[in-house]
Amino acid sequence: MVFEYLTVLISVVIGLSVTSFLTNVVRIIHLRGDVTISWVQLLWSATMLIWTIAFWWFTFVLADQQQWTYPLFIFLLAYSTLLFFLMALLFPEGVPADHNYRTQFMRNRVWFFGVLLLFLCVDVIDYLVKLDKDVSIVGHLPYAAFVGPLIVLSLFALRTDNLVFHRVFAVYSVLAVLVMSVITLVPLAN
């Protein structure tokens, strides 16, 4: 009963992130002739959607958590909030019908990748805590191979406006998060 009560707020924040993705992608489809679409931004939004769904799926494991603490709850709430912030930075509110998403992404990239770096640091803390409690579902090497390049490339992304780099990094990120999600979350279903 405690799990259900505490995860309601976390689920609301996750729901806001998913809603932001869905409503903004539909908006872009409706206005496709007027807006300048950014495939980099759309790939990053898909990455954040996959990560958000993976986080939601993993929280089900916590249903067996016997003792809940306020710090654990705040940590999970902060994790979900950072996912929402990342999605919100990709899709600003109140943009005009002729919005240029490519320009907006490049203009906001320092904020986006800064928050992404903060999120990745929180994810590393999450991983270390799970290792300590022996509930980690991925080994050291696969996790390091996953998160290490994301951190390094995010640091570089803060500094460059090279569109080719951002395209390659966006493709890499969606594939990396998708592969990590399939590897780690499919076993949870069994």
Residue 161 reports pLDDT greater than 70? yes
What's the mean pLDDT when you consider all of the chain?
Answer: 89
173 residue type, one letter = S
Q: Give CA–CA dist 44/40, Å, rounded.
A: 6
Q: Give CA–CA dist 45/11, Å, rounded.
A: 19
State what percent of residues in the chain have pLDDT above 70.
93
pTM score, whole prediction: 0.91
Query: Could you tell me the pLDDT band of residue 163, with boundaries at 50, 70 and 90?
Result: very high
Query: Where do runs of H (alpha helix) occur along the chain?
Result: 2-30, 39-59, 70-90, 101-132, 140-159, 163-189
Query: Could you tell me the pLDDT band of residue 137, with boundaries at 50, 70 and 90?
Result: low
pLDDT at site 187: 62
Higher pLDDT, 143 or 189: 143
Residue 190 reports pLDDT greater than 70? no
Q: What residues make up the domain containing 94?
A: 2-189
Least confident residue range of 33-37, 108-112, 151-155: 33-37
Q: Give CA–CA dist 190/178, Å, rounded.
A: 19
DSSP 161: -
Residue 188 reports pLDDT greater than 70? no
Name the token pair of 154: 């995010």
45 residue type, one letter = S
Average pLDDT, stretch 15-19? 95
pLDDT at site 135: 58
pLDDT at site 126: 85
Domain count for the chain, please give it.
1
Average pLDDT, stretch 88-113? 90
pLDDT at site 168: 98
CA angle (148 as vertex; 144, 154 as ends), nearest 5: 155
Q: Give CA–CA dist 97/7, Å, rounded.
A: 36
